[in-house]
Structures are given as structure tokens and as C-alpha cells.
Amino acid sequence: MFSLRALSIKRKLTLIIMTASSVALLLVSAGFVAYELVTSRQTMLRDLSTLAQIIGNQSTAALTYQDKAAAEEILRALSVKQHIEAAAIYKGNSLFARYPADVPAAHLFPPHPEPAGSHFERDRLTLFRTIFLEGEPIGTVYLKSDLAETHQRLQRYAGIIVLFMVASWLITYLLSVWLQRIISAPIFHLAQTAKAVSTAKNYSLRAHKRAEDELGQLIDGFNEMLTQIQQRDAALQQANDDLEKRVAERTRDLEWAYNELRRTQATIMQQERLKALGQMASGIAHDINNALSPVVGFADLLARSEPSLSQNGSKFLRYIKTAGEDIAHIVARLRNFYRRRDEREALAPVRLNHLVEQVIDMTRPRWRDIPQGRGIMVEVRSDLDAALPEIAGIESEVREALTNLILNAVDAVPTGGNITLRTRVASAECAPLFLSPARPAPEHGQKERGALQPTHVVLEVADTGIGMDDKTRERCLEPFFSTKGQRGTGLGLAMVYGVMERHEGKIEIQSELGKGTTVLLVFPIRSAPSVTAPGTGSTPAPTGLHVLCIDDEPLLRELLKELMESDGHQVVVADGGQAGLEAFRDAQRRGQPFDVVITDLGMPHLDGRQVAKA
Ligand SMILES: Nc1ncnc2c1ncn2[C@@H]1O[C@H](COP(=O)(O)OP(=O)(O)O)[C@@H](O)[C@H]1O
Ligand SMILES: [Mg+2]
């Protein structure tokens, strides 16, 4: 169905203009026709009255002399007036003369005259007029005219009006099509702009103003609105960007913290495992040592006290002693790994750079000469921080640790490669675990790395070798863990770990299969108390001492007694802490105090330390 609402503004405007102009035209035409109707009737009436007057004036004589023929002659003159249908002259109350005379009287003429006056019927006008002679009424004129002329004229007008209407519609239509653009074009442009903005989400578009009318104001308003939306959009985008950036930052922080946590957890687990292993190892070592000491000791004693032994006897005794000493040596190393540093153990200033150069020199046969003999090139480089501070440590231990790391690195480059030794300072604040990627920097105010106070010295041994898989990396610090089969003891890194523990340092290992390994030894920076080197001058061993020997192991106790007595000392033994104390006090009371007390540390009830304190 036709709907006005669905029409475009253009059509609506055209329709409005057409309707308005048509209505106006119709109203004007109707007024014009009505006016024409009224004036033409008035004119007709006036003409007919004049004609009746003339006829009346001409017919006074005919009436006076009863000359009917003359009267009819006068009336016949009306034949020139086409629209006069009938005319008559009455004398008194009766018809005197008539026109047209040949039509039956009853048809066209009223039988009697009516009072003077006129009236319009549907399509004719009738008129009666009294004929006066010297003021006296002597008769009446009757005229009847048709309205054909008026009707014809009206028809003509109607035709003209229709013609005008059609012409004016045409012109109005053309004009309206042209004029409506003044209104519709800006609206159309506005609608197009709004659509473009919403489809492209481009708030920088603007509508162009063409006039300072209400439409111009509308476009101004629309543009203003766009500006505000654009500003808000930009602000929103900015806020969104900021938020995304913050989320990304937080995510990075969280990831970092999560990785840190995992690393810390792994480290703690490894430390726990190593601690348990260490405790077990040193426990076993202690027991083996206790069991081994009498074997070696008595073998020694036997060799010394029985010179009459056969040649074979003394040879076997030597074998027993040597084998025992070898075992004791291994056990001692094992105990050494996890031995806590004794408070009194001297920490001396160690110059790591110097030490690195020394160890490179010392290990040269292993990393250059031997591989070269097999046509393999191993290059060792050093990258040393000249301003490296000294650390407090036990130089021999650090040297051994570094030697072990270099030997491991050499083993890791069986077909040749590079080994780099690097020293540098680091700050715990910047990288608590030294190897972990530095914490993601916040946007502002991050201190420069160099600006941080160095708290640690890092000694790095990096190789371009075979690297380790995850499992090996996790377990490589464990004692006896080795992937080298017969060639390896699995004690190298365990020893390095023990050394670092005693230095309150850390060992970190970064390794990727096929890419190489970097081992970091991280030492805290602290000043070492200046130590006086232990006296090297040999003082003659004292003899004839009064010695108290406390040990819960009867064999050991006995061995010690025998050994010391063979050296010319006077020895008293006690089988435990309590017994030892009693013997000590007893001797004091007797005025013969002991010069030396030798006590086992690990004993039931009262151990060596408690005895020493007492
Ligand atoms: N630089 C290295 N590159 C690759 N693997 C290494 C490296 N250092 C140590 N490892 C691994 O750690 C294990 C333990 O090393 P270590 O304790 O020195 O014992 P060993 O050298 O006697 O095997 C090695 O067997 C080896 O698998
Ligand atoms: Mg090794």
C-alpha cells in the first residue's frame, strides 16, 4: 500500500509543493468562477431590464390605441437577440401581444402578468416590468431569456482553468524539483555523512554547511556532536591502550614471578636433596673412617713394632696400609664436600682474576696439549673485569673448584670448541639468581644496572659444548652422578657445590643440549679479616707428654694409645665423655694434670664438644 511515510524527503517536498499550489490554484479559480457567475447574472438582469424598458416605452402607443399588430411588430424586433426565448405585452390582466407569435400561448407565456420583478430559474431568467404612461400603469412587459451565454462562458472558463492547472502543475513540478534541493540536498548530505561515520567508525568526517538557516544549525550541531564523540573515542582508546599496557606489564611481572618461584622451588628441592645426600655421605664416611682407622693404624703399628716380619709379611702389610690410606683419602674427600666451614678456618683475600689466569695455565695440558695431539682445537679465553674486588675465601678450594669446571668444560667439547672464563660484579638487587632474566623493567624510574651497588662477584665458565638435558642439569651436583661412565667419578661438581656452600656463595648452571653450558660461581663481596699465614717453620715434635685419650670406639682408643706410647708419651684412655671428665679432674686433684686431651667429637651421652666446654 502507498505510504506517505516511506517516501523520500525529495518526494515529500515535491508532493507538498504540488498539493499546496494546486489547492491555491483551485481556490483562486473557484473564487473567480463564483465572481464571474454573480457579475454575469447582474449584467444579464440589467440588460434585460433595459430591453423591457425600451419595449415598454415603444409600445405605449400601441397599447393606448389597442394596436395589437404594432405591439407584435415591436416584439418581433427581439428576434436579433438570440437568447430571448419569449416576450409578451399584457394589457390589464390579459395577454395583448406575444413573441414568438406562432407558438401556442399556453406553452411559453403566463396567462396573467405578475407584479414587476425578476427571478432566475435553473437555466432561464424571467422578468415582468410595468409600462407607465404619464405615471399611470397601462400594461406589463414580460421577457424570458435563456442562460446559455452564461453557461457557455463558464464552460470556457472551466476549460481555461483546467489548461492553466495542467500548465501550472508542470511548471510547479519542475520548479519544485529544482527548489526542493535547497532543503533536501543538505539533509541528504547529512544523512550520507552520518551513514559514512557509522559504517567506517570514522569520527573525523564532517558535514559541510551550505547556508545559515536551521539546516545550517543542524549541521553545526551534528559536527559538534562528532567532535565530542571523536574526543571521547580518543580518550577511550587512550584509556584502553593504557589498560592493555598495564595488563601486559602485570602479566609480564606475574610470569616473571611465576618463573622465579619455579626456579626457587627447584633450587630449594635440589638443595634439600643435596643436603640429604651430603648428610648421608658424611655419615657413611664417618663410619667408614672409624672402621678404617684401626686397619691402617694397626698395620702401621705392626710394621713399626715388629721388625722381624718376613719380607712378604712387611710387603703385604704395606699393601694393606696403602689400600687403607687410599680408601681414607676418598672418604676424606667425601666428607670434605659437605663439611661446614669451621669458624676458625681462615678466610683470606682472594684475587679471582689472578686465580683464573693461574688455573688456565695449570690446566693447559688438559685443554690444549692433549686435544691437540688428537687434532682437536680447544680455545680458552678470559674476559676479566679489571676492577674486580677481592673476595674472602679459601684460595686452594676455589682453585680446585675452578679446575674442576674447566676439566668438565674440556670434556664437553670432544670435537673442539671455545671455553670462556669471565669475571664480573653483580648486584643481588638486580638479579637475585644472577642467571634469571632480569626482572621486567617498569615503565619509569628504573635504576641503571651500573648504578646499583655491586654485592657479588661472579665467576663464569662458559663452553660451546654438548650441553646438558634437563635431567642431567637437575642432578649434576649430586655426588657420584656422572654421565661419563668409567671416565667420570661424579664428584667434581659435588665438590664445587661444597666449596660454594662454605663460601656462602651460589652455583648456578645454565645449559642447553647441543648449545653449551655456563656455570656461574657467585661469591658475596665481603672483606676478609687479614690473616696471618700459618707458621711454616717446623717446630720439633714434643715428647713425654701426659695425654688423655677419650673415644667410645675401643679399637680406636687402643690404637691411639699404642701409637702415642710408641712415640714416648704417657697415655690414659677413657671410653666416654663422662669417664674422660672424671679422669681429667682426678689428675688435676692429684697434681698431675694432662698436657693434652684428645677426644672424639661424636659420642653418646656427653660428646666431645661438651667435654671441651666443661
Ligand atoms: N660443562 C659441562 N657440559 C656438559 N655436561 C656437564 C658439564 N659439566 C658437568 N656436566 C655433567 O655433569 C656430570 C657431573 O659432573 P661432575 O660432577 O664433574 O662429574 P664427572 O665429570 O666425573 O662426570 C657430568 O657427568 C656431565 O654429565
Ligand atoms: Mg668432572
3-state secondary structure 310-325: CHHHHHHHHHHHHHHH
pLDDT at 429: 66
Q: Which residues pair with 84 in a beta bridge?
A: 145
pLDDT at 302: 86
Residue 289 lies in a domain: no
Domain boundary among 150, 170, 190: 170
Q: Are 467 and 351 contained in the same domain?
A: yes
Q: 419 CB under 6 A from ligand 1?
A: no
Q: Are 63 and 99 contained in the same domain?
A: yes
Residue 200 lies in a domain: no
Q: State the residue range of the domain holding 469.
A: 347-432+454-524
More confident residue, 566 or 241: 241
Return the minimum-mean-pLDDT range out of 164-173, 235-244, 448-457, 504-513. 448-457
Domain boundary among 491, 524, 557: 524
- Pocket-testing residue among 493, 495, 496, 511, ligand 1, by greatest number of atoms within 8 A of Cβ: 493
pLDDT at 562: 83
Dihedral, 94, 99, 100, 105 alpha carbons, nearest 10: -10
At residue 86, the 3 state secondary structure works out as strand
Amino acid at 569: H
Residue 385 lies in a domain: yes
Q: Are 467 and 603 contained in the same domain?
A: no
pLDDT at 333: 75
Q: 465 CB under 6 A from ligand 1?
A: yes
Per the CB < 8 A criterion, the answer to whether 170 and 157 are in contact is no
pLDDT at 89: 93
Measure the CA–CA gap between 496 and 487, rounded to whole angstroms. 18
Q: Are 67 and 134 contained in the same domain?
A: yes
The atom of ligand 1 lying closest to the CA of 495 is 17
- The residue contributing the CA closest to ligand 1 atom 25 is 482
Per the CB < 8 A criterion, the answer to whether 547 and 594 are in contact is yes
Residue 177 lies in a domain: no
The atom of ligand 1 lying closest to the CA of 461 is 1
Model confidence at 179: pLDDT above 60: yes
Q: pLDDT grade, residue 201 (50/70/90)?
A: confident
Q: What is the mean pLDDT of the chain?
A: 86
Residue 489 lies in a domain: yes
Q: Give the pLDDT mean for 226-252.
A: 94
Residue 25 lies in a domain: yes
Q: How many domains does the chain have?
A: 3
Residue 262 lies in a domain: no
Q: What is the pLDDT of residues 333-352, one digit of tens each?
A: 777 776 776 666 678 899 99
Q: Are 357 and 458 contained in the same domain?
A: yes
Residue 17 lies in a domain: yes
Q: What is the pLDDT of residues 26-58, one digit of tens each?
A: 899 899 889 988 998 899 999 999 999 999 999
pLDDT at 446: 43
Q: Are 73 and 122 contained in the same domain?
A: yes
Return the minimum-mean-pLDDT range out of 137-141, 159-163, 329-333. 329-333
Domain boundary among 135, 155, 170: 170
3-state percent breakdown (helix, strand, coil) of the chain, nearest 5: 55, 15, 30
Q: 482 CB under 6 A from ligand 1?
A: yes
pLDDT at 130: 93
By the CB criterion, residues less than 5 angstroms from ion ligand 2 are 408, 492
More confident residue, 57 or 103: 57
CA 534 to chain centre: 65
Q: Are 425 and 516 contained in the same domain?
A: yes
- Domain CATH code at residue 166: 3.30.450.20
Q: Are 506 and 582 contained in the same domain?
A: no
CA 557 to chain centre: 76
- Domain CATH code at residue 404: 3.30.565.10
Q: Are 484 and 421 contained in the same domain?
A: yes
Where residue 469 falls (left for φ over 0; alpha for ψ -120 to 50; beta otherwise) is beta
- Pocket-testing residue among 482, 489, 508, 520, ligand 1, by greatest number of atoms within 8 A of Cβ: 482
Q: Which ligand is nearest to the CA of 518?
A: 1
Q: What is the pLDDT of residues 554-610, one digit of tens each?
A: 878 888 888 888 888 888 888 888 888 898 889 889 888 888 888 887 777 777 777
Q: Are 352 and 388 contained in the same domain?
A: yes
